[in-house]
Structure 1
Amino acid sequence: MNINYIIGLVGALAVFLFGCITSLTVYPEFSFSVNIDNLWNFFDAASILIVIGCTLFIVAASFPGSMLKAMPKHFGIILKTKVFDPMHYIEQLVELAQIARKNGLLSLEEKANEQTDPFFKQAIMLIVDANDQDKVRAILENDIECMNARHEDAAAMYDKASSVAPAFGMVGTLVGLINMLKSMDVEGGAGDLGGAMGTALITTLYGCIMAHMVFGPVAQLLRGRDEEEVLCKQIIVEGVMAIQAGENPKALKERLLTYMAQREREMGDTKGGGE
């Protein structure tokens, strides 16, 4: 579970709500009070309709239905941690290198069928089938590029929502100001000024919250998951290329460890030594 995301989102919302209900004065004398009823000042149905409704419909108009259906999957992805562990792949590749040196590349077919990662299985089978090295690398790198493009499209959907939400916040502000000015021309309509002005300001607030508390973090986390997956697949590509070339398993491990930060390498060595 991605605790950082949950803590960050809940914490930001909690601080925001606390600020809404809190009154703090320092000068000329210190005073502190909490009024929960203030929360109702920040609720406006028209603002919710304009900001959230229009944002969702514009996103729906900008992207294909298949991407919209994948939104629950996207939230599932960002809530998970350690889906892609580079050290796990390095250890498997070193084991495959040892098997290949002893029994040949054909002996890796059984190991390939045990893989749950389709990309890893494909990479092993390509060298088992004795394909040319350049061809194997081209196929695998093209797979990575296409995957990266798909992931970027998904993140772009949330970028779009993040940019559209504040825009419709400003639209709501204009709507509120127009209604306020119209009310000033109507006899006895001054009582509507407060509500119209509230809508004008609250829509901007809702737009900022949606952009920076919801959509922005999702786009950033999706890109982070993509980077993790790309790293692991790059390790797989380099690993299977080295295995096909008959590289020494120890030298292979040292080379693949360069893809990881020094601290992660030391943690991996410690874990491996204890097993």
Structure 2
Amino acid sequence: MDVLSLIGIVLGLVAILGGAVAKGSSLGALWNLAAFLIVVIGTLGATLIQARTAVFVHALRIFPWVFRPPRLEMEEMIERIVEWSQISRKEGLLGLENLSDEEPDPFIRKGLQLLVDGAEPQALRQILEADLDNRELFDLQGAKVFESMGIYSPTLGIIGAVMGLMAVMQNLADPAKLGQGIAAAFVATIYGVGMANLFFLPVSNKLKGVVQARVNFQTMLLEGLISIAEGENPRNIENKLSGFVQGG
């Protein structure tokens, strides 16, 4: 569980709601159905126009990473790679076949199977790097869905404010409605800018960070598998891969 994400959301809400109260406003003044429809539904509509179905669905699928990022135990993975290296030196690459069949992670399973099949180190690198690059691209596209929402929502907030002011101008003859109407008009701006800067953009950046951490983890795994294919000494493999832990 990523506690910082939870703390960030709570602090964001406290900043907006507490700030409104401190400024002498009421919490009820922050609710406006028309502004909500314009900003939220409008932002969703603009995003759906931009994103492919597969990318949008993937964005929803990886959203939980903000609170529960994938478990990436670098040191534990290095120990496993060293163990695979020792097995391959004692029993040959075919000794990894049972481990390959039992491996739940598709990327690891594919790499081990390529080793068992006797793939050359260069071919191993090309195949796994293609998988790695495609996965990274797809994950980043999912993260950018929230970035797009963060770009569209402030603009929709401005549109909502303008539409609210237009309604106010139609009631200039009734001064009693002016103050309430103007306040309601600017609620849309609060929705748009607030959601962009306190939710959509932070979520996008958090997901991008998680994606980069996964790429670093799988790159380390890739280098370890290639080292096994090249027959490197297990101790040398461990020393080589330890740099990824320091960099991660």
TM-score range, shorter chain: over 0.9
Residue 32 of structure 2 corresponds to residue 47 of structure 1: no
- Is the 1:47–1:172 contact (alpha carbons within 8 Å) kept by the matching residues of 2? yes
Corresponding residue SS for 2:181 = helix
- Is the 1:55–1:161 contact (alpha carbons within 8 Å) kept by the matching residues of 2? yes
Which residue matches 1:165? 153
- Work out which of the residue numbers 234, 255, 258 in structure 1 matches 2:243: 258
Once the two structures are TM-superposed, the CA of residue 236 in structure 1 deviates from its matched residue by 1.2
The aligned amino acid for 1:232 is F
Gaps of 5+ in 1: 24-34, 265-275
CA deviations on 1:220-267 (whole Å, 9 max, x unpaired) are 1111111111111111111111111111101100000011227x8xxx
Which residue matches 1:246? 231
Which residue matches 1:234? 219
Once the two structures are TM-superposed, the CA of residue 81 in structure 1 deviates from its matched residue by 3.9
Which residue matches 1:112? 100
- Work out which of the residue numbers 89, 93, 111 in structure 1 matches 2:81: 93
Which residue matches 1:19? 19
Once the two structures are TM-superposed, the CA of residue 196 in structure 1 deviates from its matched residue by 2.9
* Separation in structure 1 between the aligned mates of residue 178 and residue 82 of structure 2, nearest angstrom: 72
Corresponding residue SS for 2:113 = helix
The aligned amino acid for 1:18 is G
Once the two structures are TM-superposed, the CA of residue 83 in structure 1 deviates from its matched residue by 1.4
Once the two structures are TM-superposed, the CA of residue 216 in structure 1 deviates from its matched residue by 1.1
CA deviations on 1:55-110 (whole Å, 9 max, x unpaired) are 11111121123333344422222211451222221111000001111111111111
Higher mean alpha-carbon deviation, 48-57 vs 196-205, is at 196-205
Residue 68 of structure 2 corresponds to residue 80 of structure 1: yes
Which residue matches 1:272? none
Q: What percent identity do the matched residue pairs reach?
A: 27
- Is the 2:149–2:196 contact (alpha carbons within 8 Å) kept by the matching residues of 1? yes
CA deviations on 1:190-215 (whole Å, 9 max, x unpaired) are 33322331232111111111101111
- Is the 1:175–1:200 contact (alpha carbons within 8 Å) kept by the matching residues of 2? yes
Higher relative contact order (CA 8 A, sep 6+): 2
How many residues are aligned here?
Answer: 248
The aligned amino acid for 2:156 is F
Once the two structures are TM-superposed, the CA of residue 181 in structure 1 deviates from its matched residue by 2.2
CA deviations on 1:122-150 (whole Å, 9 max, x unpaired) are 01111211122211110111111101110
Q: TM-score, normalised by structure 1?
A: 0.85
- Is the 1:96–1:108 contact (alpha carbons within 8 Å) kept by the matching residues of 2? yes
- Work out which of the residue numbers 22, 29, 50 in structure 2 matches 1:62: 50
Corresponding residue SS for 1:183 = coil
* Separation in structure 2 between the aligned mates of residue 230 and residue 74 of structure 1, nearest angstrom: 15
Gaps of 5+ in 2: none
The aligned amino acid for 1:47 is A
- Is the 2:55–2:138 contact (alpha carbons within 8 Å) kept by the matching residues of 1? no
- Is the 2:139–2:211 contact (alpha carbons within 8 Å) kept by the matching residues of 1? yes
- Is the 1:67–1:154 contact (alpha carbons within 8 Å) kept by the matching residues of 2? yes
CA deviations on 1:23-48 (whole Å, 9 max, x unpaired) are 5xxxxxxxxxxx7x711122222111
Q: TM-score, normalised by structure 2?
A: 0.94
The alignment yields a C-alpha RMSD, in angstroms, of 1.8
Which residue matches 1:28? none
The aligned amino acid for 1:105 is L
